[in-house]
Structure 1
Amino acid sequence: MQSLKRILSGIIGLVVLLGIVWLTTQMPASPAPGSPVAQATNSPAAAPASRATATPRLVTDGLPAIAVDRLPPEAWDTIALIDRGGPFPYQKDGATFGNRERLLPRQPSGYYREYTIITPGSADRGARRIVAGDAGELYYTDDHYASFRRVVR
Structure 2
Amino acid sequence: MAAVQARETPEKPAAPASMPTIAVADLPREGRKTLELIKKGGPFPYNKDGTTFHNRERLLPRQPRGYYSEYTVRTPFSRDRGARRIVAGKGSTGDPATSGEYYYTADHYRSFARIKE
CA drift of 1:61 comes to: 2.6
Q: Which runs of 5+ in 1 are unaligned?
A: 1-58
Q: Which whole-Å deviations, capped at 9, do the CAs of 1:28-73 have from their partners, x for residues lacking one?
A: xxxxxxxxxxxxxxxxxxxxxxxxxxxxxxx653211011100100
Q: Name the structure 2 match of 1:150.
A: 114
Determine which structure has greater relative contact order: mean sequence separation of CA pairs < 8 Å that are 6+ residues apart, divided by chain length.
2
Match of 1:116 among 72, 97, 101: 72
Aligned positions, number: 95
Aligned to 1:61: 16
- The structure where helix makes up a greater share of residues is 1
Report the TM-score, using the length of structure 2 for normalisation: 0.79
After the TM superposition, which segments of 4 or more aligned residues of structure 1 sit over 6 Å from their partners? Answer: none
Kindly tell me: are residues 60 and 88 of structure 1, through their superposed partners in 2, closer, same or farther at Cα, counting changes over 3 Å?
Answer: closer
| Equivalent residue number for residue 56 of structure 2 | 100
More strand by share: 2
Unaligned runs of 5+ residues in structure 2 are 1-13, 92-98
The answer (yes or no) to whether the contact 2:15–2:61 under 8 Å persists in 1 is no
Structure with the greater alpha carbon radius of gyration: 1
Q: Percent identical across equivalent pairs? A: 63
Alignment RMSD (CA, Å): 0.9
C-alpha change, 1:96 and 1:72, in structure 2 (3 Å) is same
Residue type matched to 2:30 in 1?
E
Name 1:20's counterpart in structure 2: none
